[in-house]
Amino acid sequence: MLGRAQASRPSLSLPAPLHRIPLRAGNVVEIAGPSPSAKTQLLIQTAVSCILPKERNGVHYGGLGHSVLFVDLDCRFDVSRLVEMLRHRIVQVNGCSCTADDEEILKLSMRRFSYIRCYDSCELLAALKTLHHRLEKEKESNGIGGHLLMIDSIGAFHWVDRASTSLPLGGKNRKYLSLQNVLEVVVEDLRKLMSAHPMLVIVTKATIVGTTGNDFRRNYKRWPSAGTFDASSELEGLREPYFREYMPPIWQSFVTHRILVRGSDDHIAMPKSQENNTAYVSEWLLPRLNFLDKFVVRNAGVFLVS
């Protein structure tokens, strides 16, 4: 029966560092990290892999051909970065640059990308409530396809919702727009969406509440020596929880997979380019994997280093 269940929801092949664990529709992945730690770059890289077709006109692009729904709560998304990464992938496959075919594939892929901005919690709730109908209509016209829902980032309205005053509203049973209530409804609506339309949910979360940079350095037991990457010593440091979880338990139990990313202090000298790229490390917290992935962000995208 497990085999049947797994066959009905095949695992998606996603770019690093999400490739370590097989992810399938129905999973909720949380990518947490301080700012800046390339979380949005990971989302964009994953989006590129999803919207590219698997194959077209006999050329194998290696994408998933799924549509991506990007809910931007930070309102900092730069579409030119997505187009740049997508173009690099297409040119890499086709070998020559800027032909009419490339533009056609680019447009075809970009049509699979849907984007919405939300400036506060009410807009987010409204968007989620009406998303079901929108997807139903799409199903009628385009047929059943996989979806990827991305939210960047879930903690964007944390302070605003926390501070919203709880004035006593008239009438019993009335709920007010507080942090707990908003997240309860978000989780409920997402669960319903996932049961009606198979989708993988990837969410970024900025660690905005926690120890300051100074405290972090004091708690860090062994400082990695410059130029060498000693995985075991970095792992010792990471085991200390240095960022406080600020999302309420209802969200924490909704998340099925968790990755922590942060900037690493080692700079990677690229042989071809003159500059040093900042490296980032990612660690799978749920399920716990006992090694770190190191990656850099270049113009063409996110690349694993070690």
Coil, helix or strand at residue 290:
coil
Alpha-carbon gap, residue 133 to 28, rounded angstroms: 21
CB of 172 to other proteins, least distance (A): 6
CB of 127 or CB of 286, closer to other proteins: 127
Give the three-class secondary structure for 23.
Answer: strand
Q: Least distance (Å) from other proteins to the CB of residue 68?
A: 8
Under rule CB under 8 A, residue 145 binds other proteins? no
CA dist 301 and 298 (Å) reads: 5
The residue to which tokens 């990007």 are assigned: 70
CA-CA distance, 259 to 288, in Å (whole number)? 9
CA distances from 14 to 50, 51, 239 (A): 8, 12, 26
List binders of other proteins among 27-46 (CB under 8 A): 34-36, 40
In the complex with other proteins, which residue's Cβ is closer, 60 or 162?
Answer: 162
Cβ distance to other proteins smaller for residue 20 or 53: 53
Contact by Cβ (8 Å): 279, 264: yes
Q: Is 213 in the site for other proteins (CB under 8 A)?
A: yes
CB of 154: closest distance to other proteins in angstroms? 12
Q: Does 239 bind other proteins (CB under 8 A)?
A: no
As beta bridge partners, residue 258 has 30, 286
How many positions of this chain bind other proteins (CB under 8 A)? Answer: 77
The encoded tokens of residue 36 equal 């800046």
Contact 43, 204 (CB under 8 A): yes
Name which of 89 and 289 has its Cβ closer to other proteins. 89
| Candidate list 137, 139, 217, 239; residue touching other proteins; CB under 8 A | 217
| 19 binds other proteins per the rule CB under 8 A | no
Which of 21/180 has CB closer to other proteins? 180
What's the closest the beta carbon of residue 236 comes to other proteins, in angstroms?
21
- Contact between 291 and 280 under an 8 Å Cβ cutoff? The reply is no
Neighbours of 296 (CB within 10 A): 19
Please tell me whether residue 140 binds other proteins under the rule CB under 8 A.
Answer: no
By the rule CB under 8 A, 298 interacts with other proteins = yes
Closest CB to other proteins among residues 11, 175: 175
Q: How far is the CB of 117 from other proteins (least distance, A)?
A: 5
Q: Are strands 55-56 and 292-298 parallel, antiparallel or unpaired?
A: unpaired
Q: Which of 16, 21, 59, 208 binds other proteins (CB under 8 A)?
A: 208
